Structure 1
Amino acid sequence: MRAVVIEAFGEPKEVLTAGERPTPEPGEGQVRIALILAPIHNHDLATIRGVYGYKPVLPAIPGTEAVGRIDALGPGVTGLELGQRVSVSGIHEAWAEYFLAKAGQVVPLPDSVPDLTAAQLLAMPLSALMLLEDLNVAAGDWITINAANGAVGRLLNTLASQRGVHVLSLVRRADAVETLRELGAEAVVDTGTEGWQQRAAELTGGAPIVRAIDQVGGSAANDLLALLGPGGELISFGALAGKPLIVDPGPMIFKQAVIKGFWGSKRAEQTSREEMRRLITELVTMAATGALRLEVEATYPLESAAEAAVASETPGRSAKIALQP
């Protein structure tokens, strides 16, 4: 089968190659899935660079989320059928014509969920939904997030609005402001403009911001800390800037603010099967009814994975880049 392969960790454009690999055979409790579409996530690229919390044994096939059709059933698998279209996340080696997953990991999908949404229904949406639940906020509360034009920011806006939670979205480009507004975001501010803090206060009506989600790191974290109300929480969700958090101890001390991290993979490990089923059902229902729609900006064949990785990190992208067989 055709697959994307890395022989060494490094820059994706330099180490991603296409090659032939043996078609995997499902073991006990596993299914083999024929790939339809697989998104490229930031954590996929971090894994390829060797800087993520998980390091595969090399040579390795990247890819952690996809939509596909069940191609083979391993021993002991019940309740699933050949040809069934499923979403799956938290796996490895998805950037290939065929890949394996535990039967308990796959989520069968109704026809009303399009492939573009199905391919990215679990990783980022589930992380965003778990994050929203962990924020412990109520209808009417204000939260804020930077890099809000990315997948998590757009998702958080959608999910929060379903629960009556207000979101102040911070971006760095004027066109991103317009894009988010067109998508229905309630309050969007370009932090590259002078006096953006005053604009933020006007949009929130002076209401306290109780939670702030940082996806950037560096000095951006301090900007969020400055926005937080007394007793607020700053959650580190990502590090797009590739720099350590920079925070002023004054606001942290006098606001009695809390700073903590969030990692969706670890959160999922600590979540009961019943709770996970509830969260996934909520996402599938939203996708089936059209309340949750996830777009793909461009698709690339497996052989062009290096080019796709570059496109995924090119500024100005408005949706995910994905791979197809």
Structure 2
Amino acid sequence: MGAIPTVMRAIDPEQPGGPEVLRVVERPVPVPGEGEVLIQVAAAGINRPEVMQRQGLYPPPPGAPSIPGLEVAGMIVATGPGTERDLVGQPVCALVAGGGYAQYAVAPYGQCLPVPEALSMVEAAAMPETLFTVWTNLFERGYAAEGDTVLVHGGTSGIGTMAIRLCNTFGVTVIVTAGSDAKCEAARKVGADRAINYRTEDFVERVKAITGGKGVAVVLDMVGGDYVPRNLQCLGEDGRHVSIAVQGGAQATVPLFEIMRRRLILTGSTLRPRSVEFKTAVADELARTVWPHVAAGTLKPVVDTVFAFDQAPDAHRLMESGDHVGKIVLNIG
């Protein structure tokens, strides 16, 4: 292991703006603190919160670096106090609060997962953000279990494709929505049992038809707004509605008597502001329940496009266009 440099290439916009602000600049290499590791980054996943941060709409949480990037994969090259010394040289992927668009990034060791031989660094970088999000919301808050049928909006997004792959892995039937026939076909190819074109079909009627009027056990929703009352119509008795974003509006009007009559649960969560302790607990659970499937090569993320580090503006343009199926990744190593 060579000496760690003091300066690295990173993307750290001084002002919010369009994709063109994502220029590569020089920044000091971060130093790992208590319980943290320094990762030499091979690849970083691109996520919608990073687009919002670039636009000035989603400031990083207190203490997080201004460099964007919520997930990385690479090699541990140094450790902070309170970590085991023999971690250096381990290939890992990690969920981070920021700092991913750089040659080096710091992560709490508890938020790292090992990269097995079955996974490339690009694939590993495409896992943490969507895996933590889908697992904690669809499977923990929504209690999706083998034999259930669930509805996931945005079926070709990074979240949607990860939800499909996890449902396939754990015996859950998954219905998704997408905005075109081509995207519906792409979602079916990824593994969706059914795909509904929400522009040409009423997803409420289609879900009722597909489930024989029973409805689904869980809806995973990132739209919000007027989708919420429609989603509730898709739920069966004792169904769970899980909100993870509000791209279509932060307010909704819901029929309380229907919630009471069918004993529905409305819940949701955000991931980025949660504590290191919470994320570490999730990582431990993923290591036990999901990672064996990853190590066996049976669970992989869907990667749409890989961009070179200095093509980050193009990566964000693709994310904003919505024309991708699965994850967009920056190749940094």
TM-score normalised over the length of structure 1: 0.87
How far residue 178 of structure 1 moved from its aligned partner, in angstroms, is 0.8
Cross-structure match for 2:319: 312
Cα distance in structure 2, aligned partners of 1:210 and 1:28: 42
CA distance in 1, matches of 2:83, 2:277: 25
For the 8 Å contact 2:177–2:198, the answer to whether it is kept is: yes
Q: Does 1:322 align with 2:315?
A: no
Per mean C-alpha deviation after superposition, the further-off stretch among 305-314 and 79-88 is 79-88
Out of 192, 204, 210, the position equivalent to 2:211 is 204
Three-state SS of the structure 2 residue aligned to 1:264 is: coil
- Cα gap change, 1:267/1:139 in structure 2, threshold over 3 Å: closer, same or farther? farther
How many aligned residue pairs are there?
323
Alpha-carbon contact 2:304-2:324 (below 8 Å) kept: yes
Question: Of residues 230, 241, 256 in structure 2, which corresponds to 1:234?
Answer: 241
What residue is the counterpart of 1:173 in the other structure?
180
Gaps of 5+ in 1: none
Which secondary structure does the structure 2 equivalent of 1:32 belong to?
strand
1:38 to 44, 55, 75: 44
Match of 2:149 in 1: 142
> Residue 98 of structure 1: CA displacement?
1.2
For residues 86 and 215 of structure 1, the distance between their equivalents in structure 2, rounded to whole angstroms, comes to 29
Matching residue within 242, 249, 273 for 2:255: 249
Task: Report the counterpart of residue 119 of structure 2 in structure 1.
Answer: 113
- Cα distance between partner residues in 1 of 2:322 and 2:194: 22
Task: Judge conservation of contact 1:109–1:284 (CA < 8 Å) in 2.
Answer: no
Distance 1:308 1:275 in 2: 28
Matched, 1:189 2:196: yes
Q: 1:149 to 1:245 in 2, by over 3 A?
A: farther
Give the structure 1 partner of residue 3 of structure 2: none
Select which of 119, 124, 131 maps to 1:125: 131
Conservation of the 8 A alpha-carbon contact between 2:164 and 2:190: no
Cα 1:82–1:117, aligned 2, differ >3 Å: closer, same or farther?
same
2:171 corresponds to 1:159:
no
Q: In the alignment, is the contact (CA less than 8 A) between 2:312 and 2:330 conserved in 1?
A: yes
CA deviation after TM superposition for structure 1 residue 222, in Å? 2.8
1:61-117 alpha-carbon deviations (Å, 9 max, x no partner):
111210011223334532544332111113321111112223333222222222232
Deviation at 1:58, TM superposition (A): 10
Q: Answer yes or no: is 1:62 the counterpart of 2:68.
A: yes
Amino acid paired to 2:183 = A
Asked whether the 8 Å contact 1:12–1:45 carries over to 2, the reply is: no
Structure 2, unpaired ranges of 5+: 1-7
